[in-house]
Structure 1
Amino acid sequence: DCKRCPFSQVADIINSRLLTVNTKYDVVWRLYDRSDNIIAINDNRSLICEITPKDLGEFGVYDLINYGSECQWIMAKKPVNTLLPLIFILGCILLLSTIYTMFGAPCKSYCMKIKSDKDEENNQQNIKRSRVRALDTFRGLCLTAMVFINDGAGHYWFLDHSTWDGLLPADLIFPWFMWIMGVCIPISIKSQLKKGIPRSTMFLNALQRSVILFLLGLMTNTAAAGPDLHSLRLFGVLQRFGFVYLVVSSLSIFMTHRHSIQCQGKISSMFKDLIALSSQWIFVLAILIIHSYLTFCMPVPGCPL
């Protein structure tokens, strides 16, 4: 998977030969009258023909016939549609969701209404902390996608991670979890500030959670390869979560006002959140500027700017 890749030899063909090829990606095949392991893309010496088949698929059978200076591509057996299992699963999920929306949700709402009428006094005394259901739902979808992708994603190329270029759904799971964490932090910090919890206690709790995430990441990285310090990946996924969580939580703990800021005027009220978090915005923008400079402007041996 590269840009303008050189052609690599697949097989030597004397008269005829059967080949099993990977149909995951679109490929370009060339037939040469010479035997080299690697041939540059602009090297047309001894080139017989070039084909770019568009109908490659799983369990398909094809014939490539050479007529001297020309080639003909013939489909001998039609490939199967590998998208059918995925479409079937999505259809089942949609069907179950529709059934629940039509029958399950109204029944649940009716039962909760009856229960609230009977236990109204007890419910007033035992008020449960409300949760952001949309956030919980999105977190559940991300976890489901993560488990599916880590288990092979059905070998669908568009559900896997991109090799080096492009953006596929699997590449979005990490930033999605980062976004969820970023949304939850100010909600949690604001709730703790309202309860009068000391900032030092909140920081120690955030530090403890960050250390646990970091250690869990190290344990995960050494589960398969073993405790080899020479090949240990220090910053894995959970380690990055732990480090970022500590930085963002510290900013929110020490730079969030305990009481809401009252803004005068219509315009200032529209930007109330930005004004209240102005110190955090400055700090985060400074980090972004430094990171962008080190990434794009810092000279590195062997890496052109």
Structure 2
Amino acid sequence: MADVRKVEEGLGNTPLIEEEEHNDHHHRKIIKAGKDDKVDNIIGDHYHNEKTEDPDKSVELKESEKQPLIVQKNKRVATLDVFRGLTIVIMILVDDAGGAYARIDHSPWNGCTLADFVMPFFLFIVGVAIALALKRIPKVGDTVKKIIIRTIKLLFWGILLQGGYSHAPDELVYGVDMKQIRWCGILQRIALAYLIVALIETATTKIRPTILGSGRFSIFSAYCWQWLGGFVVFLIYMITTFSLYVPDWSFELLEHHETKRYTVKCGMRGHLGPACNAVGYVDRQVWGINHLYSDPVWKRLKACSPESGPLRENAPSWCRAPFEPEGLLSSISAILSCTIGVHYGHVLIHFKGHAERLKHWISMGLVLLVVAIILHFTDAIPLNKQLYSFSYVCFTAGAAGIIFSGFYILIDVLGIRTPFLFLEWIGMNAMLVFVMAAQGIFAAFINGWYYGDEDNNLVNWIQVHVFNDVWKSERVGTLLYVIFAEITFWGVISGILHKLGIYWKL
């Protein structure tokens, strides 16, 4: 019997266990790379398997004595890496340049800007990766355990980075008052969506089809439990949003060394404005108002401040109130973004032709966009990231589907991969770039080495003297600093780490 060698994978760090039964010999050959761990890394790895015949197994033996060994050669889905890298780049751009260019920053309330695509794009990517990673599940119990462990890791990092403990990169301090710790955030929302969608995918593994039926909608019926889960999520969100009674509420703020109490008058149902929506009410009841995000983007509304300046003296009381943009009810709605991503992954698995995949992806993306536009412009359900409205789910998921299809055409169909290597490298080490760049941990480390004064550090010196002074504009300088000193820098670092085979995975 010919030797069975380890299969070389795209990264060499995600395992592969493939069992091939030979009917005439009644034995099993196992090809194993790494440890038995097929659960996808949330912001990390994903693989798509294509059957290829191993040429080394073609030993000069009689046909009657040997069956050809068919192995699974794992190939990274470059399109998904590139899309993930693009999302990370957009996040860095809007976070660090959004203050200078308000049009790319989060919409104060209704509407959708460049920054508002980041969260749903991440969830869409997570969904696609779940479908690929859980394509085959050797042991359901082990997979469930790994899903729960990874969820806990995401929650831990989310609270650590966005709960208030880290003051990076501006302040050289750390620590948070537990009376005011923020429990919600980006990674926490991803953790919830991942947990629910991955568990549904795992629980339905025994009824998962290997071959689709001939019907046009067979891909939907084959994964009806996933869509049923999405429908339940939709019902919970819609019923709560439009039927929950929101009473008057109050909050306290420390102003000029005095505690001042404000009251917001509500007493209504189905309100989709900043003051009296059910999303905010649920978070105030569940988490407590002191544990919500203290600087919501609605403060840039004209009712609160002129031209995004200080609050008006006669601004409504809710303008000063905290609001959680990654709260509980809105995160339940966000599970739909992940569910749609899982569907795109299922299409990638079952549809083998480029044209067939693209036809389904693009048509679904266009339908979602049309539904969102109708809901928004009829004022039935406006696009709103803060509430994670259903129209917002459809609009951003549709956009994600179209962009994903575009990358697929360029990279997988036309073979144009080199121009996107920069984004691919970032996407392959997305967790590292998210923590170090988007959350400012690396910049905080550099800021810790200052000369005489905390503001006299290398980061500030580069931004002021290399960019702002040269271009004689703080806005332009800020934008160029973000592009070259942050995005380009971390793209190069990610490329070097990729060449060294170093990746940060949860």
TM-score, normalised relative to structure 1 = 0.53
Aligned counterpart for 1:304 among listed residues 268, 285, 298? 268
Q: 1:223, 1:145 → 2: CA distance?
A: 22
1:133-144 equivalences under 5 Å are 133-144=78-89
Question: Does the CA contact (< 8 Å) of 1:256 and 1:277 recur in 2?
Answer: no
- 1:151 counterpart SS class: helix
Equivalent-residue separation in structure 2 for 1:237 and 1:259 (angstroms): 31
Q: In the alignment, which residue of structure 2 is the partner of 1:214? A: 155
Q: Classify 1:188/1:230 alpha carbon distance in 2 versus 1 (closer, same or farther; 3 Å).
A: same
Give the aligned partner of residue 131 of structure 1. Answer: 76
Secondary structure at the counterpart of residue 75 of structure 2: coil
For the 8 Å contact 1:139–1:177, the answer to whether it is kept is yes
2:231 is the alignment partner of 1:285: yes
Answer yes or no: is the 8 Å Cα contact 2:91–2:118 preserved in 1.
Answer: yes
Unaligned 5+ segments in structure 2 are 1-54, 58-68, 168-173, 248-265, 270-506
Distance 1:276 1:126 in 2: 26
Separation (CA, whole Å) in 1 of partners of 2:208 and 2:223 = 13
Map 1:112-261 to 2 at 5 A.
129-153=74-98, 155-190=100-135, 192-193=136-137, 197-220=138-161, 221=163, 222-224=165-167, 226-257=175-206, 260-261=209-210
Larger Rg: 1
Using a 3 Å threshold, how does the CA distance of structure 1 residues 233 and 263 change in structure 2: closer, same or farther? Answer: same
Q: Distance in 2 between matches of 1:251 and 1:240?
A: 17
Letter of the 2:117 counterpart: L
CA distance in 2 between counterparts of 1:246 and 1:208 reads: 10
Evaluate the alpha carbon distance shift between residue 260 and residue 299 of structure 1 in structure 2; reply closer, same or farther with a 3 A threshold. same
Structure 2 distance, partners of 1:233, 1:152, is: 24
Q: What percentage of aligned pairs have identical amino acids?
A: 28
8 Å contact kept, 2:201–2:226: yes
2: CA distance, partners of 1:303 / 1:178: 34
Cα distance between partner residues in 2 of 1:248 and 1:287? 11
- Contact in 2 for aligned 1:213/1:242 (Cα 8 Å): yes
Partner of 2:490 in structure 1? Answer: none
Counterpart contact for 2:197–2:226, Cα < 8 Å: no
Does the CA contact (< 8 Å) of 2:200 and 2:226 recur in 1?
Answer: yes
The 3-state SS of whatever aligns with 1:130 is strand
Q: Which has the higher contact order (CA 8 A, sep 6+)?
A: 2
SS at match of 1:129: strand
Alignment of 1:23-172 (within 5 A): 129-153=74-98, 155-172=100-117
Q: Partner letter of residue 277 of structure 1? A: Y
Partner of 1:25: none
Hey, what's the Cα distance between the residues in 2 that align with 1:213 and 1:240?
Answer: 9
Q: For 1:161-215, what per-residue CA distance to the aligned partner results, in whole angstroms no more than 9, with x for missing partners?
A: 111222101011000000000111111111x32xxx2001111111111000000
Separation of aligned partners in 2, 1:258 and 1:297: 36
Q: In structure 1, what is the Cα distance between the partners aligned to 2:177 and 2:116?
A: 28
* Aligned-partner residue type, residue 227 of structure 1: V
Contact 2:212–2:219 under 8 Å retained in 1? no
For 2:116 and 2:155, locate their aligned partners in 1 and report how far apart those are by CA, in whole Å. Answer: 21
Q: 1:261 Cα shift? A: 4.7
**2: distance between equivalents of 1:210 and 1:243?**
7
Which amino acid is 1:175 matched to? P
Distance 1:125 1:144 in 2: 39
CA 1:232–1:154: 2 relative to 1, 3 Å? closer
> Does the Cα contact within 8 Å between 1:142 and 1:173 map onto a contact in 2?
yes
**Who is 1:69 aligned against?**
none
Pairwise CA distance, 1:256: 2.9
The count of aligned residue pairs is 179
| Equivalence map 1:6-25=2 (5 Å) | none
Measured after TM superposition, the shift of residue 230 of structure 1 is 1.5
